[in-house]
Amino acid sequence: MKVAVIGCGTIANAAHIPSYLNNPEAEIKYFCDIIPERAQAAVEKYDCGVAVTDYHEVLKDPEVVAVSVCTPNNVHPVIAIDALRAGKHVLCEKPAARTYAEALEMQKVQHETGKILNIGVVNRFNDSVNLIKKYIDSGKLGNIHHVYVSFRAHRSIPGLGGAFTTKAIAGGGALIDWGVHYLDIVMYCCGDPAVRTVTGETFCKLGKNMEEYAYTDMWAGPPDYNGIYDVDDSVTGL
């Protein structure tokens, strides 16, 4: 099966590309990135595929069966929708989109085309998560009436001043980047219960003074102190 990787940054190199290379039934035909050097670097590093900068070129190729969308969040919807309408199956990185309306449009087009649209909430495929789901479904854990999840990561705001901390691009911060995993695990394991109310509060404080923010690692790239930091870095909700 010939596939294409659209967006050749961190998550593509850490997860999508190695997984395709490890699958004898998959072949990467294209590496696509708006930064030409990044796409070409992938071709040279993995010794396969062709480097392109326009994803429309990928979608015009009838040999390509599926694509991975590994771009910043703001272009997830348009690329995924274009790919579905071009007859391709889509694995789109999480979050699906920045807003509920954008996600609904993606779902609508998936229904219209009948192609697979999978969002990369990968913890659903974790053996431990599925064991918990099995216990819940079988009644082994009794009547589940309360679930508590919590996560924290110290000094690891990704790429201060870049795409991850710019709301117009990412749609949000800690909640939409990491929180979606925890919300998805709870909903998945509990059989997607209907949500009646949501109460929460978000905070944007930790990296506000970017030049004085102390960190040990910034995996999404070095800080851009002339960039934007307007996303949530702490969230609580019910």
pLDDT digits (tens, 9 = 90+) for 87-101: 999 999 999 999 999
Give the domains, in start order, of the chain with CATH numbers: 2-120 (3.40.50.720), 126-237 (no CATH)
pLDDT confidence band for 155 (50 / 70 / 90):
confident
Q: pTM score, two decimals?
A: 0.91
Question: What pLDDT does 192 receive?
Answer: 94
* Both tokens assigned to 170: 């990412």
- Give the span between the Cα atoms of 224 and 74, in whole angstroms: 19
Position 66: which residue type? Answer: A
Q: How many CB atoms lie within 10 A of CB 107?
A: 14
Handedness of CA 61, 65, 71, 73 (dihedral sign): positive
Handedness of CA 28, 32, 88, 95 (dihedral sign): positive
Instruction: Identify the bridge partners of residue 201 per DSSP, sorted by sequence position.
Output: 236
- Give the span between the Cα atoms of 48 and 11, in whole angstroms: 18
Read off the pLDDT of residues 39-82 as tens digits, 9 standing for 90 and up.
Answer: 999 999 999 999 999 999 999 999 999 999 999 999 999 999 99
* Both tokens assigned to 146: 């309360």
Handedness of CA 206, 207, 209, 213 (dihedral sign): positive
Average model confidence (pLDDT) for the chain? 95
Is the model's pLDDT at 170 over the cut of 90? yes
- Give the span between the Cα atoms of 132 and 108, in whole angstroms: 31
* Both tokens assigned to 167: 């709301």
Position 48: which residue type? Answer: C
Question: What pLDDT does 156 receive?
Answer: 83
DSSP string, the chain: -EEEEE--SHHIIIIIHHHHHT-TT-EEEEEE-SSHHHHHHHHHHHT-SEEES-HHHHHT-TTEEEEEE-S-GGGHHHHHHHHHHTT-EEEEPSSS-SSHHHHHHHHHHHHHH---EEE--GGGG-HHHHHHHHHHHHTTT------------TT--TTTBSGGG-HHHHS-SHIIIIIHHHHHHHHHHTT-PPP----EEEE--TTSSGGG---S--TT-S--TTSB--S-SEEEE-
**85-to-17, 113, 115, 198 alpha-carbon distances in Å:** 24, 6, 9, 34
Question: What pLDDT does 72 receive?
Answer: 95
Is the model's pLDDT at 154 over the cut of 90? no
Question: What pLDDT does 221 receive?
Answer: 84
